Amino acid sequence: MKRLTEIMYERTALSFEVFPPKTDKGMAKLPDTLDHLYKFNPDYISCTYGAGGSNVGKNMDVCKLILNAENETVPVTHFTCIGHTRETVKEQLQNYLDNGIDHMLALRGDLPYGWTGTNGDFAYATDLVAYVRKEFGDKFEIAVAGSPEGHIECRSLEADIAHLKQDEGADYIMTQLTFDMEQFKYWLDAIRMAGITMPVDVGVMPVVGKDAVINMCLSRNGCAIPRELAEVISHHWFDKDPDGNDLPEVKAAFREEGIEYTVDQLHEYMSLGVEGIHLYALNKWEDVTEILNRAGIRTVV
């Protein structure tokens, strides 16, 4: 099987992100979602990972589902620094290898409420990547996160790019979501000028719900909401009546305009020559299916 970076140098890779369901009912429904995503022949599907491996069992279950499917989709596990010692990292990653999972996204991870650091042996993803390479050599293909608007805890975009340049041993960059295309273009030029040559796989969140977009932008990511997206939100701001009841027609209108916004964003990313498109499926298949079909990217008829 080819490495993902080899695929990215040949053509634009397509991938999805899912998360381990918290309930048995959710786990029972996930295979159907994955089956629909497989129809697009994704190059990989990534699965998120809880702080300190709090959901490592279900993460492993999801990765194995993907690995054992009758296609060539690669499972990629997220892996954070939160709460990890060198010993737990070595033990857990060996377990992934023993189960046939050899692709990972190395992350610092979001700090849990009240934490001021990772409470482990690794403060940054850079440290984690270096340790994984030292212990496992090239057994893992490793992605690292990129922040086109700068990490929210970094003092400047330039400082953030300098940290990204230190991620020696990583194979490609998977970006955090960004809706500001001008900022993305600036960042892409800036990392290339800085000598960072790793392929760039762009994380894209479908615009299908007003509250979800606002929460994702402002809760942890500090992402800008550009004028064009602000207009989409403003057009459908009042999605509840005075008694607090949902107005389905307004929510549907937001989804329609939001999907068109996302399709335009995908086309713009493709025109920039990015090496990958990574869609946050959010354990649903309907929205990303409609987006990809409209965009004409690996269309499923």
Give, in order, the Cα–Cα distances in Å from 294 to each of 5, 192, 289: 27, 31, 9
Q: Which helix (H) or strand (E) holds 173?
A: strand 172-175
17 is annotated as an active-site residue? yes
* HSE of 61, CA atoms in CB hemisphere, 13 A: 15
- The structure tokens 């932008």 sit at 217
Catalytic one of 17, 141, 149, 275 = 17
Residue 127's CB: how many other CB atoms inside 10 A? 17
**3-state secondary structure labels for all residues of 51-89:** HHHCCHHHHHHHHHHHHCCCCCCEEEEEEECCCCCHHHH
Q: Residue 14 in contact with residue 46, Cβ under 8 Å?
A: no
Query: Nearest Cα to 274, choosing from 208, 222, 203?
Result: 203
Q: How many CB atoms lie within 10 A of CB 4?
A: 23
CA distances in angstroms from 34 to 9, 26, 71, 87, 100, listed in the order given: 26, 12, 11, 33, 19
> Which residues form the catalytic set?
17
